[in-house]
Amino acid sequence: MSGESVDGVAIGAVDGVLRIRLDRPARKNALDVAAIDRVVGALESAAVDDALRVVVLSGTGDDFCAGADWVATNAAGAPRPRTGSIQRRTPVQAHRVIALLVELQLPVVCRVQGWAAGLGCQLALAADFTVAADTSRFWEPFLRRGFSPDSGATWLLPRLVGVARAKELLLLGRELSGADAAAWGLIHRAVPDEQLDATVDELVAELAAAPTVALGLTKRCIHRALESGLTAAMEAEANALELSSRTGDFQEGLAAFRESRAPDFEGR
């Protein structure tokens, strides 16, 4: 992949790392329909690309993502959509992005600077590891705009921070700094602004060197366990163990243990 920006999204893969960069800085990287479609396509391709080991989400300029671009969607002079348009389109656009981030059997790292609002906030919450600048801002502005949340907000937030804090964020529209988001357990980590790139790069390198198949299966088990009982969760673990124990990385892990050295996993 070239990394060229098309429809406001730059996509490129190097050394097993797929980088998806939202590239509409003049609109605070708000996502219009074309940009969402491009991100969906990249994630669907990543799901079946054996060369990939990590996905990184980021944004150009001062902000990560200000959410869905309602200005573009509701441009003056545009024909009024048919009744039910939101209900028909959202599942295959904004909602599809969130589902793919959660279901993808690759680790997803999200780099947040500036605003992560609405859909942008949900992208950060759906990633496996979100690293944010201390001064970044997480915000769910839905009710302030007179409509109810979407893009998985009501599913993600209670699981990450509990019902009481989810209500504070969604019903009262409280903004959180990156530092507060980390303290609440909303994201993986917040760091001083000048350390953001180095911290993300270090984490990406660690994940790219991990046993990719076992990591992806473990991620899948964690999400499945949120919706199941203990017996079903352990059955899923047994299935994942059966698959991961057949990988080259498993053999490398055993050899490294026997030889008292660090493993050199190849993601196979």
Return d(Cα 68, Cα 34) in angstroms, integer.
Answer: 11
Return d(Cα 56, Cα 148) in angstroms, integer.
Answer: 29
pLDDT-derived band at 1 (thresholds 50, 70, 90) equals very low
- The pTM of this model reads 0.92
CB atoms within 10 A of CB 242: 10
Task: Give pLDDT tens digits for 201-242.
Answer: 999 999 999 999 999 999 999 999 999 999 999 999 999 999
Task: Give pLDDT tens digits for 91-113.
Answer: 677 899 999 999 999 999 999 99
Task: Give pLDDT tens digits for 45-63.
Answer: 999 999 999 999 999 999 9
Q: Please state the rounded mean pLDDT for residues 127-148.
A: 95
Percent of the chain with pLDDT over 70: 93
Cβ proximity of 67 and 141 under 8 Å: yes
Q: What is the pLDDT of residue 147?
A: 86
Task: Give pLDDT tens digits for 8-21.
Answer: 999 999 999 999 99
Mean pLDDT of the chain: 93
Burial grade of 173 (CB within 10 A; 0-12, 13-18, 19 or more): middle
H-assigned helices in 54-211? 70-73, 85-89, 94-103, 119-126, 153-161, 163-170, 178-184, 196-208
Q: Closest Cα partner for 207 from 73, 110, 135?
A: 110
- Which domains does the chain possess? 5-208 (3.90.226.10), 212-258 (1.10.12)
Query: Side chain identity at 115, as an amino acid letter?
Result: W
Q: What are the backbone dihedrals phi and psi of residue 53, each rounded to the nearest 5 degrees, phi first?
A: -130, -20
